[in-house]
């Protein structure tokens, strides 16, 4: 992903409304930094949850399949962050 293009990023949940706070971020900006931190935190939580489910070993294929989309999204976001750091 090119870092020269602003993009809509999640900043987490607004504690007052419970709604997701989104911002158009620019490369190297403060909002981009906050969005990166939020994405990494969310990915870390997802890894912990999936790891715990796998460790127990009793999840059905359907339950495990439910993790594929969020894991893919988290991985894609982390790859975009790493790619932006290299540019």
pLDDT on residue 26: 85
User: DSSP string covering 55-73, please?
Assistant: HHT---HHHHHTTHHHHHH
| CB-based contact 36:27 (threshold 8 Å) | no
Name residue 10's beta-bridge partners: 22
For residue 17, how far is the Cα from the chain centroid?
Answer: 20
Tell me the C-alpha to C-alpha distance, in Å, between residue 58 and each of 43, 61, 76.
Answer: 23, 10, 27
Low-confidence residues in the chain, pLDDT < 50: 1-3
């Amino acid at each position: 992903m090119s870092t020269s293009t602003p993009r809509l990023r999640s900043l987490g949940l607004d504690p007052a409304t419970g709604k997701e706070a989104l911002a158009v971020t620019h490369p190297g900006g403060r909002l981009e930094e906050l969005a990166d931190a939020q994405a990494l935190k969310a990915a870390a939580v997802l890894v912990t949850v999936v790891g715990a489910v796998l460790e127990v070993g009793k999840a059905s294929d359907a339950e495990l399949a439910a993790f594929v989309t969020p894991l893919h999204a988290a991985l894609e976001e982390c790859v975009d962050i790493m790619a932006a750091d290299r540019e």
